[in-house]
């Protein structure tokens, strides 16, 4: 089996809570041990910008200093073992990837893997200078990359068209979600929730109009917004006159979000594009109906789960769908079918991921 090294030069820059990230890698490792039937597999994580109070049980984690030179030397040391085959995973496609490229250099025993967790379509069509520079760097870097992980079939096809010269492997392996094992046990509510970043690209601008339409149809409906971002202050101002007053929680750890799902009856997503739709799937496995803006990903999800999801093309339509779901119950049989379908899908992806790392 190959040695696997994950490198991220500064975890403080990412939106994911470090504890959630480490929990995710713990689950990756356990899945790899199960799928490859090798209990001795190890993951080596080299991480910068991580809280010294965070503890690890099953993962081999090295905390890195802030010095880029020190990080580079630590990574070189972790990679170079005579005769050993290594998979090196870049934690982001910016500075972490650049350091990985230098550390790999021309070593043929090192397989370099990057991940694209955002929509490839959106990535290839940046709307600002920063996005264009990031895209240029990625397109230059892929010539020295061996594997690329994406999160959906459409992302895979779009990327293949964009980089026909790429000779490595492109494979699908979205971030898995936690699927509850307990039976569905929730009280009926009139709460519509949003979960995720409050940024312009998530379609936040049309949320007030949807909530206004909903308030007309159901005055006592409640609004719960989980997440933070550049548009939070603007959205709070737009909804300041609403009664009951909307609840803004800010960013929450995954464990805290799990505790909030039973409160929500319908999840609203206004994002014009989705890569995998992680929050949408999390809602469905927790027995929460979903109303989402129409795009390629949400249309496919609606086909897969037609009784639990609707896609909209206008704010009025979104409000109508939410109101309709307020009159329905997410049955135990429905949630069981959703969980089984998504778990089967995830098992396939986790097997692919384990093979790309260790074999």
Mean pLDDT of 81-89: 90
Which domains does the chain carry? 3-176+344-358 (3.40.50.2000), 191-340 (3.40.50.2000)
For residue 335, the SS3 value is helix
**Residue 75 dihedral angles phi and psi, to the nearest 5°:** -70, -45
Residue bearing tokens 């069981």:
336
Residue 20 has what pLDDT? Answer: 87
Q: From residue 34, how far is each of 81, 317, 357 by CA, in Å?
A: 27, 45, 14
For 254-297, the pLDDT digits (tens) are 889 999 999 999 999 999 988 889 999 999 999 999 999 999 89
C-alpha–C-alpha distance, residues 286 and 273, integer Å:
23
- High-pLDDT (> 90) share of the chain, %: 81
C-alpha–C-alpha distance, residues 239 and 59, integer Å:
44
C-alpha–C-alpha distance, residues 302 and 39, integer Å:
38
For 212-262, the pLDDT digits (tens) are 999 999 999 999 999 999 999 999 999 999 999 999 999 998 889 999 999
Mean pLDDT of 157-184: 92
pLDDT of 114 > 90? The answer is yes
**350: nearest Cα among 115, 29, 17:** 29
Half-sphere exposure of 341 toward its Cβ, with a 13 Å CA cutoff? 14
Mean pLDDT of 84-91: 96
Residue 358 has what pLDDT? Answer: 96
Query: For residues 79 and 108, is the Cβ–Cβ distance under 8 A?
Result: no
């Amino acid at each position: 089996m190959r040695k696997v090294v994950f490198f991220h030069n500064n975890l403080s820059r990412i939106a994911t809570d470090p504890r959630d990230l480490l929990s995710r890698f713990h689950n990756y490792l356990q899945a790899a041990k199960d799928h490859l039937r090798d209990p001795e597999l190890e993951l080596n994580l080299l991480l910068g910008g991580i809280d010294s109070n965070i503890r690890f049980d099953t993962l081999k984690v090295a905390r890195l200093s802030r010095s880029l030179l020190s990080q580079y030397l630590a990574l070189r040391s972790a990679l170079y073992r005579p005769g050993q085959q290594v998979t090196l995973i870049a934690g982001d496609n910016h500075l972490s990837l650049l350091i990985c490229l230098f550390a790999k250099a021309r070593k043929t025993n090192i397989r370099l893997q990057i991940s694209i967790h955002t929509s490839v379509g959106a990535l290839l069509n940046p709307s600002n200078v920063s996005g264009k520079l990031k895209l240029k760097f990625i397109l230059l870097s892929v010539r020295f990359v061996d594997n690329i992980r994406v999160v959906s079939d459409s992302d895979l096809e779009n990327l293949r068209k964009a980089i026909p010269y790429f000779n490595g492997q492109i494979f699908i392996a979205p971030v898995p979600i936690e699927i509850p094992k307990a039976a569905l046990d929730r009280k009926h509510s009139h709460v519509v929730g949003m979960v995720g970043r409050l940024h312009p690209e998530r379609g936040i601008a049309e949320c007030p109009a949807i909530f206004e339409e909903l308030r007309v149809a159901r005055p006592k409906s409640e609004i719960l917004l989980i997440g933070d971002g550049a548009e939070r202050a603007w959205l709070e101002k737009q909804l300041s006159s609403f009664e009951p007053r909307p609840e803004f929680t800010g960013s929450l750890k995954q464990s805290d979000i799990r505790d909030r799902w039973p409160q929500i009856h319908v999840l609203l997503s206004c994002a014009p594009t989705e890569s995998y739709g992680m929050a949408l799937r999390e809602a469905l496995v927790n027995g929460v109906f979903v109303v989402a803006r129409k795009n390629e990903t949400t249309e496919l999800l609606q086909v897969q789960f037609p009784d639990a999801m609707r896609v909209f093309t206008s704010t009025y339509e979104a409000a109508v769908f939410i109101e309709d779901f307020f009159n329905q119950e997410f049955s135990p049989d429905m949630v069981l079918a959703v969980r089984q379908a998504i778990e089967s899908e995830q098992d396939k992806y986790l097997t692919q991921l384990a093979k790309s790392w260790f074999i």
